[in-house]
Structure 1
Amino acid sequence: MEKILEKAQKIKIIFFDIDDTLRVKDSGFMPESINEVFKKLHEKGIMTGIATGRNLFGVVPEVRALKPDYYVAINGAYVENACTQKVLYKNTFSKDLVEEIIAWLRTEQSEYSFVAADSLRVSKWDKIASEAIGPVYAELKENPDYYQTEEIYQMLTISDHDDQLKLPENLADKIRLVRWHPNSSDIVPLEGSKAIGCQQVLQELGLKAENMLNFGDGLNDRELFDFAGLSVAMKVSHPELLEKADYITDSVENDGILKALQALKIID
């Protein structure tokens, strides 16, 4: 613990995942202690960022109200200074790549969703899509050709056999699947990750990885846990993340973030 506390003294920016980290995904519950955390961090001059698989449309009002300094959205594919709204980085799919993905998903009898910077569309809205996407984004409009008019940063698979989907050779060297729900996986660039997005912020600020702490719980946080100077996993985190974490804290409902920052002596 002594080494961890030494690392904590170097922290100048903290990134937070949203679902089951800042707030409970299924119920939307966010403890009042989160507001206290952000207030104290701002008072101490420690910057804050949101690092999420969601796009800007999915950053709910109560999270925006925390006034973070940066948004690392869509698993690092879109990075924005939240104060100035300046876009620091974006990594979009080409139309050709989108069409290759769609062709593959159709052979697999899987529906899909397009993720743009501040909007989403699905190829089909049904019970399967509702169970996966509903708790995060609510009901989405259907438009299987949305990529023709919008920049696409990410796609999602949507099927009741998502665990059986396997990328064909022509796609395996371009994209990867990151499961986040029994019915859905994020489709992200092969080298894309939250870590790539957070690196853009550190570069903008002239900071190093050792100056960064992050909180997370899911498989899309793996690269970030390998990259950050200090990583904290929520109690409910995926086993892989628990193994990578420098520190494991309590659940959202039990004020896990506040407890961790107090234990690390970053805030009182």
Structure 2
Amino acid sequence: MEKILEKAQKIKIIFFDIDDTLRVKDSGFMPESINEVFKKLHEKGIMTGIATGRNLFGVVPEVRALKPDYYVAINGAYVENARNQKVLYKNTFSKDLVEEIIAWLRTEQSEYSFVAADSLRVSKWDKIASEAIGPVYAELKENPDYYQTEEIYQMLTISDHDDQLKLPENLADKIRLVRWHPNSSDIVPLEGSKAIGCQQVLQELGLKAENMLNFGDGLNDRELFDFAGLSVAMKVSHPEILEKADYITDSVENDGILKALQALKIID
């Protein structure tokens, strides 16, 4: 613990995942202690960021009300300075790549979703889509050709056999799948990750990885846990994330973030 406390003294910015980290994904519950955490961090001059698989549309009002300094959204594909709305980084899919992905998913009898910076569309809204995406984004409009008019940063698979999907050779060197629900996976650039997005923020601030702490729970936090100077996993995290964590804290419902920051002596 002594070494972890030494690392904690170097922290100047903290990134938080949203789902099952700041708030419970299925119920939307966010403890009052989260407001206390952000207030104390701001008072101490420690900057805050949201690092999420969601796009800006999915950053719910209670998270925006925390007034984070940065948004690292869509698994690092879109990065924005929240204080002045300056876009620091974006990594979009080409139309040719989107069409290759769609062609593959059709052969796999899988529906899909497009993720733009501040909007989403699905190829088909049905029970499977509702179960996977509904708790995060609510009901989405259908538009299987949305990529023709909008910049696409990420796509999602939607099927009842998602665990059986395997990338064909023509896509395996361009994209990868990150499962986040039994019926859905994020389709992200091969080298895309939250870590790449957070690096853009550190670069703007002139900070190093050792100055950054992150909280997370899912497989899309994997690269961030390898990158950050200090990583904290929620109690409910995926086993791989628990293994990578420097510190494991309690659940959202039990004020896990507040407890961790107090244990690390970052706030009182």
Residues 212-234 of structure 1 deviation map (CA, whole Å, 9 limit, x = unaligned): 00000000000000000000000
2:87 maps to 1:91? no
Residue 55 of structure 1 and its aligned partner are, at CA, apart by 0.0
1:241 Cα offset (Å): 0.2
Instruction: Verify: 1:217 aligned to 2:217, yes or no.
Output: yes
Q: Distance in 1 between matches of 2:82 and 2:119?
A: 17
Query: CA shift at 1:46, angstroms?
Result: 0.0
Root mean square deviation of aligned Cα:
0.1
Distance across 2 between alignment mates of 1:84 and 1:243: 37
Q: CA deviation at 1:70?
A: 0.0
Rounded to whole Å, the distance in 2 between the matches of 1:28 and 1:135 is 8
- Unaligned regions of 5+ residues in structure 2, if any? none
Report deviation, 1:16.
Answer: 0.0
Identity of aligned residues (%): 99
Equivalent position SS for 1:252: coil
Q: Aligned to 2:30, what secondary structure does the other structure show?
A: coil
With normalisation by structure 1, the TM-score equals: 1.00
CA shift digits 1:207-254 (9 cap, x unpaired)? 000000000000000000000000000000000000000000000000
What is the TM-score with the length of structure 2 in the denominator?
A: 1.00
In structure 2, what is the equivalent of residue 37 of structure 1?
37
How far apart, CA to CA, are the structure 2 residues paired with 1:41 and 1:101? 42
What's the CA shift for 1:77?
0.0
Deviation (angstroms), 1:185: 0.0
- 1:198 Cα deviation after fit: 0.0
CA distance in 2, matches of 1:129, 1:172: 25
Residue of structure 2 in register with 1:171 after alignment: 171
In structure 1, C-alpha distance between the alignment counterparts of 2:240 and 2:4, rounded to whole Å: 20
1:136 corresponds in structure 2 to 136
Aligned equivalents of 1:9 and 1:179: distance in 2? 34
Give, in angstroms, the shift of residue 194 of structure 1. Answer: 0.1
Q: Give the deviation of 1:127 after TM superposition.
A: 0.0
Q: Report deviation, 1:196.
A: 0.2
**3-state SS of 2:113 partner:** strand
Q: CA deviation at 1:152?
A: 0.0
Q: CA deviation at 1:104?
A: 0.1
Task: Tell me how far apart the structure 2 counterparts of residues 73 and 151 of structure 1 sit (CA, whole Å).
Answer: 14
Equivalent residues, number: 268
Alpha-carbon distance in structure 1 between the residues aligned to 2:206 and 2:196: 15
**CA offset digits 1:125-169 (Å, max 9, x no partner):** 000000000000000000000000000000000000000000000
**Paired position in structure 2 for 1:226:** 226
**Equivalent-residue separation in structure 1 for 2:67 and 2:83 (angstroms):** 8
Equivalents in 2 of 1:243, 1:159: separation in Å? 29
> Equivalents in 2 of 1:83, 1:129: separation in Å?
34
Tell me the equivalent position of 1:82: 82
List 4+ stretches of structure 1 deviating above 2 A: none
In structure 1, C-alpha distance between the alignment counterparts of 2:41 and 2:233, rounded to whole Å: 19
Q: What is the 5 A alignment of 1:179-198?
A: 179-198=179-198
Once residues 74 and 250 of structure 1 are traced to their aligned partners in structure 2, the CA distance between those partners, rounded to angstroms, is 26
| SS class of match (2:135) | helix
String of CA shifts for 1:92-125, please: whole Å, max 9, x gaps: 0000000000000000000000000000000000
Whole-angstrom distance in 2 between the partners of 1:116 and 1:196: 18
Name 2:237's counterpart in structure 1.
237
CA distance in 2, matches of 1:48, 1:219: 21
Q: Distance in 1 between matches of 2:177 and 2:82?
A: 28
Deviation at 1:40, TM superposition (A): 0.1
Q: CA deviation at 1:266?
A: 0.0
Query: Counterpart in 1 of 2:64?
Result: 64
In 2, Cα distance between equivalents of 1:48 and 1:127: 36
Looking at structure 2, the residues matched to 16 and 100 of structure 1 have their Cα atoms a distance apart, in angstroms, of: 33
Distance (Å, rounded) in 2 between the aligned partners of 1:164 and 1:83 = 42
